[in-house]
Amino acid sequence: MNYRNPGSVLAPLWIMLAVLILGGVSVVVMRMESLTRSENSFALDVSRHTDIAEPLLHYSEAAPIALPLSDAHAFAVSPNGDMVVCGESSVWVLDAEGVVLQTLAPVVKPRCVAVAGKDHPQAGRIYVAGNNAIEIFSADGESIARWDVVGKLPLLTSISLTNENVYVADAGNQTVIVFDDDGIQTGVIGAEFVVPSGYFDVVAEDNGLVHVVNPGARRVETYSVDGDREAVWGQAGSGMEDFFGCCNPAHIAMLPGGRFVTSEKGIPRIKVYDDSGKLQSVVAGTEQLLRRQSRGDEVLSGDVFDIAVDDEQRILVLDPTADQIRTFIRTQKKAI
């Protein structure tokens, strides 16, 4: 039998191992160098999604409304044009100049708010939703009712009113709860919503259509009051017409004619779609919303901009960093 010296076998193995390690280090170094070059950096790839073609920009910004609080995160517009703004523990009613008219102290921690419109039987009522309850205030600011939500770990993130019903998005249970105006639960919408974060929005119309964001699927779904799905639009992608990231849009609102306003997080941008989900225009992109040129890592933002539409069809944007409600007005450009 032919015996080999063990050292003669181990030596080539150590040599091969050293070559592999050094080769791996070289590859890693080369890869790191390639990532730091501007033409290959991930941040610059992301920033390409912020470029907006000039024909798409149909809005200009007017003077903002300064907020008297620094923890605003949600708001709604009342029938007379007042702003109802949620802070961490209080709800503020402001006039169009930002002057405080009322301060509400709900029992629930306010996460979202809706105000009954001028044609509503309870015009001016304020509905404040927290983690597991809805508290109702009269137009004079008096607490008049509280509706508790029964369920496993509810997390109420959006509330919308029609003349007959109250719709509340529950991110914790990934459903939309339907109440009548007396606070009696009459139904539940949805069984397949994907809600990876605390942003889950709903907006209902008096024509019986209920529009719900399915954020994990990056689309908007329309339901009947009975919970039948009527339409779906939107898709994940990097184009301006698409919804980018893990879960968007974060917020929606409605314009006359069934048009949608959407607000995205991650790469902030606010857009308008027609009633079939075709992109019509951009209200504000990342550079306008963040008020700086979006390049490199700066393009990714933790800011989330709530939106509303007033009676003049202006698009109002809550800027939580600037502590302002910003106003965007439609210019006379033809929709694409």
pLDDT at residue number 23: 43
Residues 63 and 327: beta-carbon distance below 8 Å: yes
| Mean pLDDT, residues 31-50 taken together | 43
Residues 213 and 222: beta-carbon distance below 8 Å: no
pLDDT at residue number 302: 84
pLDDT at residue number 14: 42
Would you call 288 exposed, middle or buried from its count of C-beta atoms within 10 A (0-12, 13-18, 19+)? buried
pLDDT at residue number 170: 97
Euclidean distance between CA atoms 36 and 21, whole angstroms: 23
> pLDDT tens for residues 201-238?
999 999 999 999 999 999 999 999 999 999 999 999 98
User: For all residues of the chain together, what is the average pLDDT?
Assistant: 85
**Residue reference for tokens 């592999």:** 20
Percent of the chain with pLDDT over 70: 81
- In order of their start, the domains of the chain are 54-330 (2.120.10.30)
**Structure confidence at residue 30 as a pLDDT band (50, 70, 90):** very low
Quick check: 330 pLDDT over 90?
yes
> pLDDT tens for residues 103-162?
999 999 999 999 999 999 999 999 999 989 999 999 999 999 999 998 889 999 999 999
pLDDT at residue number 37: 36
Quick check: 1 pLDDT over 70?
no
**Structure confidence at residue 43 as a pLDDT band (50, 70, 90):** very low
| Mean pLDDT, residues 68-93 taken together | 95
Percent of the chain with pLDDT over 90: 74
- For 68, residues 6+ apart whose C-beta sits below 8 A from its C-beta are 92, 94, 98, 100
